[in-house]
Amino acid sequence: MENQTKVTEFILVGFHSHPGSQLLLSVLFSTMYAVTVVGNACMIFIIRTDSKLHSPMYFFLENLSILDICYSSVITPKAALTFSLGRRIVSYNDCASQMFFFSLFGTTEAFFLAAMAYDRFTAVCNPLLYKIIMNKRLCVFMVVGSYLSGCINCTIQTGFTFSLSFCGSKEINHFFCDVPAVMHTSCSDTLVNEIVMLTLCGSIIVGTALVVCISYGYIIITILQMPSAERRLKAFSTCSSHMLSVCLFFGTVFFMYAQPGATSSPNKSKTISILYTIVIPMINPFIYTLRNKEVKESLKKKFKRKGVFLVPLL
């Protein structure tokens, strides 16, 4: 058996298709990445420049947008280059780095969504104490705590995965260095690694999902008890976008990491991976913009101001 430290590179299999389809995938991934960066950058700009949006909810939303840019940047540019240029070889160190940062940002996003659910719970269920409970110190603590939790998880996942031995075929049946796909490449017994991944990722996903479910359980009960239909509609509108984002993220991630046999269906995993690595970071800004009255009003104001300044130049 060859020691894993002697392995210098891996080969990303990607998707099995003819060259024309590979170029189409490259264009598609590049376009989606551009939309992701522009959309999330616009969200950050809007939140930072509008004083009305300087509240805990938008503080978390701004950090989520920054995270989504980083999250997508770890995967999408490399995948697009792989499809367009056919450069499927990735060095051992680059593969480990990609896995580390992907696990870091993915885990952090799960904790972010849980923190945002708690924020909405406080706003709807304890509106009079909202500003006291969700003070700046607690918000910063939640963000920093989310990143620290991500660091712990990604360190363990990457360390355990790259402690395996790799010999024979070095092909990773994926378009990036995901934990299950890299484990599947190893010639070592991966049972312990799979148990660690299932236990660690499962506890993180189930734990953060429980926080979300409990928070929204109380939110729904509180909304139904509101006497005014207008208040019920307003309360629901502030939570609906986050609920949609949560369902998309946790649904796909649970399928990938929180169930037994996650490494046994690589082709299905690749398709699901596109959703949570590329699609969700791209559509999050649209979900929060199109379903958020305050953000839409801020956008309208900025376009009106731009129009005022542009008229004299025409």
Q: Which residues are CB-neighbours of 233 under 8 A, at least 6 positions away?
A: none
Give pLDDT, residue 94. Answer: 92
Alpha-carbon distance of 114 to 252, in angstroms, equals 16
pLDDT tens per residue across all 314 residues of the chain: 444 446 788 888 877 666 667 788 889 999 999 999 999 998 999 889 888 888 898 999 999 999 999 999 999 998 888 887 766 888 889 999 999 999 999 999 999 999 999 999 999 899 899 999 999 999 999 999 999 999 999 999 999 999 888 876 688 888 889 888 888 888 888 888 888 888 888 899 889 999 999 999 999 898 888 887 777 777 777 777 778 888 888 878 777 665 555 545 556 677 788 888 888 899 888 888 766 677 777 777 766 665 544 344 33
Tell me the Cα Rg of the chain: 22
Give me the pLDDT at residue 314, please. Answer: 37
Nearest in space to 145 (alpha carbons), one of 49, 234, 60, 202: 60
Measured between alpha carbons, how far is 162 from 5 in angstroms, rounded to an integer? 9
Number of Cβ within 10 Å of residue 144's Cβ equals 10
Distance of alpha carbon 194 from alpha carbon 189, whole angstroms: 10
CA atoms within 13 A on the CB side of 94: 13
Q: Look at residue 215 in the predicted model and tell me its pLDDT.
A: 92
Token reading at 85: 């240029």
Interatomic CA distance for residues 63 and 189, integer angstroms: 39
The domains found in the chain, sorted by start residue, are 17-301 (1.20.1070.10)
Structure token pair of residue 114: 């849980």
User: Which residue, 85, 89, 69, 81, is CA-closest to 12?
Assistant: 89
Report phi then psi at 16, rounded to 5.
Answer: -80, 110
Question: Reduced to 3 states, what is the DSSP secondary structure of residue 90?
Answer: strand
What is the pLDDT at residue 167?
79
pLDDT value of residue 39: 92
pLDDT score recorded for residue 267: 63
| Sole residue written with tokens 């731009």 | 306
